[in-house]
Amino acid sequence: MVPSVRIAPSILSADFARLGEEIRAIDEAGADWIHVDVMDGHFVPNLTIGPMVVKALRPHTTKTFDVHLMISPVDAFLDAFAQAGADIITFHPEAGPHSHRTVQHIKSLGKKAGVSLNPGTPAKMLDYLIDEVDLVLIMSVNPGFGGQSFIESQLRKIEAVRKMIDKSGREIALEVDGGIDATTAPRAIAAGADVLVAGTATFRGGPSAYAANIAGLRGS
C-alpha cells in the first residue's frame, strides 16, 4: 500500500562525507523516496552533484530516486541521469526551451517525468503539460539553498495544481519542496500535496533521529 503522504528526504542536507551511509539510514528510517537536488551554479546559485554521484549512490537503496534537475540547458543531461539510476526526472520549464519535448525525452528513456514550478512561475504553465507529466513539484522557496523559510503564497498554487490534477483524472504526484517541517507539512498536505521533500527537517539530529523526524512530517 502506498502511504497517503510520501516523504522524500533531500540529500542536500545530508552529510556529504558519508552519503551512502546517510541514504541507507533514511531508507531504514522510513523514507519513501530519495530526493536528489542537482544544481549547476547557473540556473540556481549553488553547485551540487552530477550523474556520477547519483550512479555511485544507486546501489545503496532500492527506493525511488527522485532527481530534481535545477540545471540549464537541461536536455543535454537527461540521458546521463537516466543511465545513472534516476527513476523520476524533474525539470523546470524555464530550463527548456521546449518543455513538451523534454517531457517526451524523459519518458522515452523509461523514466517518470516531473515539472517543477518556482515561486514566481504560475500554475497555468501546466495547461498543456498536465496530460503528459507524472509529477508536479511546487517550490515553496526559491531554489538554490536548503534551510529557507516556506513562502506562504505557494499554498494557493498547491491548491490550484491539485484541482488541475484531479480534473485530469490521471495519477500525478503533487510534490512540495522548501521550508517543509512539522509545522508547514500539514498545511501543504491540506492544500493537496501528497509528496513532501524535506532536507533540514529530516536530517536534523543525526541518524538516531531520522525515523522520528520522518514520522513527524507524516503527522504520525
Flag whether 147 is marked binding: yes
Cβ count near 131 (within 10 Å): 12
Alpha-carbon span 135 to 36, nearest angstrom: 15
Flag whether 68 is marked binding: yes
Flag whether 120 is marked binding: no
Picking from 144, 143, 138, 140, the residue whose alpha carbon sits closest to that of residue 178 is 140
Flag whether 98 is marked binding: no
Q: Cis (ω within 30 of 0) for the bond into 122?
A: no
- 32, 37, 66, 194: which one is catalytic? 37
Picking from 31, 88, 36, the residue whose alpha carbon sits closest to that of residue 57 is 36
Flag whether 114 is marked binding: no
- 32, 134, 177, 194: which one is catalytic? 177
Flag whether 37 is marked binding: yes
Flag whether 10 is marked binding: yes
Q: CA dist 41 to 4, 79, 90, 138, 159, Å?
A: 35, 20, 17, 21, 31
Flag whether 40 is marked binding: no
Alpha-carbon span 49 to 190, nearest angstrom: 33
The reply to whether 177 belongs to the active site is yes
Flag whether 105 is marked binding: no
Q: Cis (ω within 30 of 0) for the bond into 73?
A: yes
The reply to whether 32 belongs to the active site is no
Task: Give the SS3 label for residue 115.
Answer: strand
Alpha-carbon span 197 to 109, nearest angstrom: 24
> Binding site residues for a divalent metal cation, as ranges?
35, 37, 68, 177
Provide the annotated binding site: 10, 35, 37, 68, 144-147, 177-179, 199-200
Which residues are designated catalytic? 37, 177
Q: Give binding residues for substrate as ranges.
A: 10, 68, 144-147, 177-179, 199-200
